[in-house]
Chain A
Amino acid sequence: MPIPMRTSLQNLDLEAGRDLSFINAVAKESGQDLKSCYQCGNCTAGCAYTHDYDIPVHQVMRLVQLGRKDEVLSCRSIWLCATCQACTTRCPNNIEVATVMDVLRHMARAEGRAPERLVKTFADSFLSSVARHGRVFEAGLAMVFAIISGKPLQDAGLGPAMLSRGKLAFWPHEPTGNGKREVAEIFRRFHEGRPTSTAAATPAPSTQPTEENAK
């Protein structure tokens, strides 16, 4: 939904609503010069996902410029960006827009916001699978996701085609050497968190059935 709708009863107080620390954090984490966006709309024009966004990407950029943290971090768009890089490729101001979207998603995660629950769940499940096996166990991931998502039958129809073409491995194809252990270590250190700054966004381990199994 476009922004004006949300504030139709009240003027947007630019000064009161400006979260400077948010603006600076996005700039720092993404390494992008957010002020250089002049709202040409090229990112929105070329974004394959604008159709599904609640706030088009150029307006996400505008909201970040204005420091509207709450509106940005609660929007669905940042979860629906697929990092296809069309925006970054075409930005006339050399802004890596997709990187900004990534950073906003990290921040939303850190605040426990995920209006697109399944998108977050998918990423978590994927990484849990990697943490456990060192590589993605595709069939395992599909099954785990089917259960958590509450849509167990969505992809059930794909099974036979995959089975008959030998595309469904029933066992994870794990690395042969230290790989599996080293990857698990990376995830362990990641969950410990960064020593200085606040650790961004970790897939909450306790809620992950795969993590449970891993123990």
Chain B
Amino acid sequence: MATDLHRPVKETLAPDPRSAASAGAPEAAVRVAGLTRAFDGRPVIDDLDLTLRAGEFTALLGRSGCGKSTLLRVLAGLDREISGTVLVPRRRAVAFQAPRLMPWKRVWRNVLLGLPGKPERAVAEGALAEVGLAERAGAWPKTLSGGEAQRASLARALVREPDLLLLDEPFGALDALTRIKAQQLVAELWQRRGCAVLLVTHDVDEALLLADRALVMREGRIAYDTPVALDRPRGVGSPGFADLRARLLTELGVEGGGGVEGKGRAHGGPGAPADEKPSVAAGPSGPGPAKAPDESSAHPRHGDAS
């Protein structure tokens, strides 16, 4: 496997996400059905179904303790105390919130750790160059800054050529400026590699800047599922951004979340559900709320709040 690390990414894996979605049934990168994970009899993931398409960038949002990190650990194969069906690509990689580099291995050895065979240092340097860290290949992890360590951790994930990249709040511990750069880097890497990405985060803006699709997890299942059909490159000022942001914040239980910005406020009136739909409906697969039965009753309450 070490030899094919730098071959060009296959065409089928590097599609324009939207064209892939419209091309009918793209192959699934993750298929989860009836997944349940309980801690001491208390289900954290409760009969969850989820399909991630190959090459798709999905953001998984949720309040702390909603089970989103547990789901990521299950998909990573780190948590096997589960019931249900979980199909994940054989080649998958994780980047955690903390970089989790082995402090006793130089950066390039960290990148190569766990790869089969005896890959050359050049392989690691290639991956490190991709994240702009080539010159620190020989450094000890403890001498890296937070942003550098996180990039090294990304390189370690990417060198595995994953079909599924799992990101567990990878920007959470970074300062605001470093975070922006790291987000841009991840967007770039994803566009180049075309692997499926699942980004677990509690930052709605981050999700909307990066993802094709946003999921909200609540009470152990996917409570809300919406495409993010914004043109790239995106900014917080992109058309439709504020609406989607307000909608997601509402789904996350933050009342009047969109009210900080003028745009969000415009849609925050009593007629909110009706106003929100157009922005969501701009996506390729029709109106956003995929699992709506219990949602419609909740809307008026959210509308009142702002």
- Is B truly associated with A? no
